[in-house]
A = this chain, B = another copy of it.
Amino acid sequence: MKNRGLLIVFSGPAGTGKGTVCKEFLKHNSDSVLSVSATTRAPRPGETDGKEYFFVSEKEFKKMINEDGFLEYASFCGNYYGTPKYKVEEKLEAGLNVILEIEVQGAMQIKQKVPGAVFVFIAPPSKEILRERIEGRGTETQEIIDKRMKIAENELKQIKNYDYVIVNDEVEKAVKSFEDIKNAERCKVLRNMNFIQEVCK
């Protein structure tokens, strides 16, 4: 019998290279897929329904909320974003690991709903380096930089609610750690009860 896939929640402040690590990880791990969120915002040019997002109406989104159809959801700038439960479930059932690249708030919702989920936080090597990365992004004003740092600092305080922390000082090493965590979690005794029952018969 095939083991269920892992639900891996992957969070970290903007500027920690979360997106890059995730993309590189998926390139080399065909046993894992990225969860696609549903959103009520309009598709941008070049975006395809079901690829970047599932584009749904606000009415549909609210119906799904009422039917407990989301693992987590939130609204930003007047639009809803959420992780559709059944889409994740069908992949896990097929034995695939599903990566949710989501914000800390969303992650804490998952923690309540999915007992076996794995929580991975990606952190900058230091606060100074995070500031450099946020400043280095472009020509943002000091005000915006300070605001982003404040948000990042609040997110960093949530590391303690995660299972693992990956320090991203080198993308390649961070990707390797992510892979190690995924592989190790699949060796957990509690995730191999079918095999254990079989070999103990």
Which of A's residues lie within 8 Å of B, judged by CB? 121, 123-124, 126-127, 153, 156-157, 159-160, 162-167, 176-177, 179-181, 183-185, 187-189, 192, 195-196, 198-201
Contacts and interface: CB of A to CB of B under 8 A. Distances in A.
Given A180-B184, A184-B180, A185-B184, A159 B200 contact: yes
Chain A, interface SS category? helix
Contacts of A126: 198-199
Nearest to A120: B187
B187 A183 contact: no
19 contacts: A123-B196, A123-B199, A124-B199, A126-B198, A156-B199, A156-B200, A159-B189, A159-B196, A159-B200, A162-B189, A163-B189, A164-B187, A165-B192, A167-B195, A176-B183, A177-B184, A180-B180, A180-B184, A183-B184
Contacts of A181: 184, 187
Contacts of A188: 163-164
A153 B195 CA distance: 14
A198 B163 CA distance: 18
A177 B183 contact: yes
Contact of A157 (B153, B195, B200): B200
